[in-house]
Amino acid sequence: MSEFQSTPLSGKVALITGATSGIGKVTAQILCQNGASVVISGRRSKEGSQIAENLQAQGNDAVYIKSDLGKVSEINSLVDQTIERFGALDIAFNNAGIFDRGGLFHEYEDASWDDLISINLSAVFYCMKAQISYMVRNGGGVIVNNASIVGHRGSERASPGYVASKHGVIGLTRQAALQYANLGIRVNSISPGPTMTEIQQPLVDEGPKAVAAHLASLNPRAAFVAPQEIANVVLYLCAYAPEMMTGQDVAIDGGQLYKL
């Protein structure tokens, strides 16, 4: 394990997908604070550019690159542009994803299935393929994939597409970890529980009792996971985790996964 340092990622280049809000945005901030040069990627140009400008104003090396992960050509271009801009790719956080609720199998729309699998699973595969292709040639790197606690079980709230895609992300993580364990590439995933992102703000505005009532049946803590907590786990996996830690999935859910 690396010794704890004030800027453990100094000289490292990190690419974060889905970084224009929520977990990705906070992770970009934390990786920058710990010395990394960061590429912020997402489809929302205004938000992404503003995040990059704010980080630059704080003395960080950050840039926004627009990318639609539904297109393989744009995924490959994103990785190429990262390397052209910073000369390397040491860390990738494949965070981008979409969510939909409910939907029984026999009622679930084909288009919804296609969308969920395309963005949440296929895009992760194509991102990893491009990232690993570079890392194999250049001495290794670290990849972290954002899965979900429903990647370990079923869900009464999430759709078949979402649950299947997140199981798949964990499977891709384990397969890549196995295949590249001796090539200097560590691949792990994280599985957040319900997280306090912008989409949850209306519930939060109702007050702590409303949040607790909503989450009590799910989370033993009856509280949202903070994006900062998730970002700190990503930082650990990228900067401090031992070389032998690969193929693992880290649940960040206040004990939800193991609640009976």
Enzyme catalytic residues: 162
Residues 237 and 177: beta-carbon distance below 8 Å: no
Q: Could you tell me which residues are beta bridge partners of residue 42?
A: 66
Task: Enter the tokens of residue 121.
Answer: 């699973």
